[in-house]
């Protein structure tokens, strides 16, 4: 039986990510920024379902939870375009996104959806592409896309596309860790935050960043000493309501909240004895009913 013809539907999870460490060390000549980051996947995820339509060249994208994500502007459609350019495959496909990861949250939902689409295309076509080819396609889609093709914990450099797996004891220590996440009733603009970094010359020292990650990877410091985000410095100055909320959450529950990526989602590791309902109530009281709160875990499959 021809595997390519036998499969006409594939459904895959598209996990969210958090940045345990994110240093922006300067602007590159190509317009991107140099970063040094440690990223981890978590249980919170979208679901990507890809189906053959039987219509050559057909592409459609549907997201029932958020209609603004339906249509040709979604990054999953660009993933299909890049796949077709590389493989020559013109099979008509429909992508259904079951959306759980919030938009403009720094959790990588759009990138993860696009990479899950690439993986689904590879499966539905009998896995013609090796990992190296998939990585090359992912790099064209966005700086943090290659990370989602790896094994859940990675060290990213360059503009984010140079990613290596982190394995061994560090991964074992993190796997299954409970985390709380919340998002204020707004999203943050990544280009705007980058402009603020440049305006205030808040770039991080590259040697310090490399040294800090190296200390954690070698076991010299625990993960809570690794937590850092250059965007956090800008965000806490611009959105003044976050800093006192962080302090109150630390005072009441011992939680150390950090911004993920360019935000607006914030996360903290939480031991099993910390009350989910009490933390949720404090956040809702502070930010209003339109804010969101999740309990998740670090997850490596």
Cis peptide before 264 (omega within 30 of 0): yes
Fold of 3-165: Ribosomal Protein S5; domain 2 (3.30.230)
Q: What is the mean pLDDT of the chain?
A: 93
Active-site entry in 4, 17, 81, 238: 17
CA gap 37, 40 in Å, rounded: 10
Closest CA to 268 of 234, 236, 294: 294
The proportion of the chain whose per-residue pLDDT surpasses 70, expressed as a percent, equals 98
- Whether the pLDDT of residue 6 is over 70: the answer is no
CATH number for the domain whose boundaries are 169-297: 3.30.70.890
Active-site entry in 30, 81, 94, 144: 144
Phi-psi category of 71—alpha, beta or left, where left has phi over 0 and alpha has psi -120 to 50? left
30 φ, ψ to 5°?
Answer: -85, 5
Q: Catalytic site residue 17?
A: yes
205 φ, ψ to 5°?
Answer: -70, 125
Count of residues making up the chain? 301
Q: Catalytic site residue 237?
A: no
CA gap 130, 126 in Å, rounded: 11
Q: How far is CA 272 from CA 69, 205, 296, in A?
A: 35, 36, 12
CATH 3.30.70.890 range(s) for the chain read 169-297
Q: What's residue 276's pLDDT?
A: 97
CATH 3.30.230.10 range(s) for the chain read 3-165
Structure confidence by residue, pLDDT tens digits, 80-113 = 999 999 999 999 999 999 999 998 899 999 999 9
Kindly report the pTM of this predicted structure.
0.93
Structure confidence by residue, pLDDT tens digits, 58-88 = 999 999 899 999 999 999 999 999 999 999 9
Structure confidence by residue, pLDDT tens digits, 118-146 = 999 999 999 999 999 999 999 999 999 99
Structure confidence by residue, pLDDT tens digits, 254-273 = 999 999 998 899 999 999 99
CA gap 115, 135 in Å, rounded: 9
Q: Is the dihedral of CA 140, 141, 147, 150 positive or negative?
A: negative
Structure confidence by residue, pLDDT tens digits, 152-207 = 999 999 999 999 999 999 999 999 999 999 999 988 888 888 888 887 777 899 99
């Amino acid at each position: 039986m021809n595997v390519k013809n036998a499969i006409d539907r594939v459904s895959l999870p598209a996990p969210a990510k958090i940045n345990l460490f994110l240093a922006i060390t300067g602007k590159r000549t190509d317009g991107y920024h140099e970063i040094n980051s440690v990223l981890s996947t978590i249980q919170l995820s979208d679901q990507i379902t890809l189906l053959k339509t039987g219509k050559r060249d057909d592409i459609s994208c549907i997201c029932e939870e958020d209609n603004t994500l339906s249509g040709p502007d979604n990054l999953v459609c660009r993933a299909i375009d890049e796949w077709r350019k590389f493989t020559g495959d013109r099979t008509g496909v429909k992508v259904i996104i079951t959306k759980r990861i919030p938009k403009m949250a720094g959790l990588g939902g759009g990138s993860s959806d696009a990479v899950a689409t690439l993986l689904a295309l590879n499966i539905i076509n009998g896995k013609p592409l090796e990992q190296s080819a998939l990585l090359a396609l992912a790099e064209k889609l966005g700086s943090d896309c290659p990370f989602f093709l790896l094994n859940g914990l990675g060290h990213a450099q360059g503009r984010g596309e140079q990613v290596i797996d982190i394995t061994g004891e560090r991964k074992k220590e993190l796997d299954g860790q409970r985390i709380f996440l919340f998002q204020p009733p707004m999203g943050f603009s990544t280009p705007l935050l980058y402009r603020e970094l440049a305006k205030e010359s808040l770039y991080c020292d590259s040697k310090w960043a490399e040294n800090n990650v190296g200390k954690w990877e070698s076991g010299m410091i625990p993960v809570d000493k690794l937590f850092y985000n250059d965007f956090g410095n800008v965000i806490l100055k611009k959105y003044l309501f976050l800093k006192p909320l962080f302090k109150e959450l630390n005072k009441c529950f011992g939680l150390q909240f950090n911004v993920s990526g360019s935000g607006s989602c914030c996360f903290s590791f939480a031991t099993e004895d910390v009350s989910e309902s009490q933390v949720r109530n404090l956040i809702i009281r502070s930010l209003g009913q339109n804010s969101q709160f999740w309990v998740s875990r670090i997850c490596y499959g």
